[in-house]
């Protein structure tokens, strides 16, 4: 499994923040942001940093799932199973 630089940075930042008192505020912000809750403490920098990360992670997951769904499409937008069945019946179509 590969880890991107972005993911590694987030892991390190998240680990460092967890060990500090600010981590509690950051974690609360992350939970709110990842659940679509409006920011409760907009003046708290640690909270807002976590909130923004949570919101970005949700957006990233949505984009990633859209890409995964697009990769599973076959000919003319049909499902993978449909094109596999077509290949078994008519392999000459795919040569």
pLDDT digits (tens, 9 = 90+) for 10-63: 888 877 766 666 678 888 999 999 888 899 999 988 899 999 998 988 888 877
Dmax of the chain from CA atoms?
65
Give, rounded to a whole angstrom, the gap between the first and last alpha carbons of the chain: 33
pLDDT score of 73 more than 80: no
Specify which of 25-34, 64-73, 85-94 reaches the highest per-range mean pLDDT: 25-34
Residue 42 main-chain phi, psi, to 5 deg: -65, -15
Residue 92: CA count within 13 A, CB half-sphere: 0
Which pLDDT belongs to residue 62? Answer: 78
- CB contact at 8 A, 52 and 33: yes
Which pLDDT belongs to residue 9? Answer: 85
């Amino acid at each position: 499994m590969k880890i991107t630089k972005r993911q590694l940075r987030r892991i390190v930042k998240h680990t460092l923040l967890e060990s500090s008192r600010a981590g509690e505020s950051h974690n609360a912000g992350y939970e709110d942001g990842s659940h679509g809750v409006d920011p409760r403490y907009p003046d708290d920098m640690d909270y807002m940093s976590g909130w923004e990360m949570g919101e970005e992670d949700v957006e990233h997951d949505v984009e990633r799932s859209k890409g995964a769904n697009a990769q599973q499409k076959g000919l003319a937008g049909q499902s993978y199973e449909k094109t596999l069945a077509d290949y078994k019946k008519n392999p000459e179509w795919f040569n």
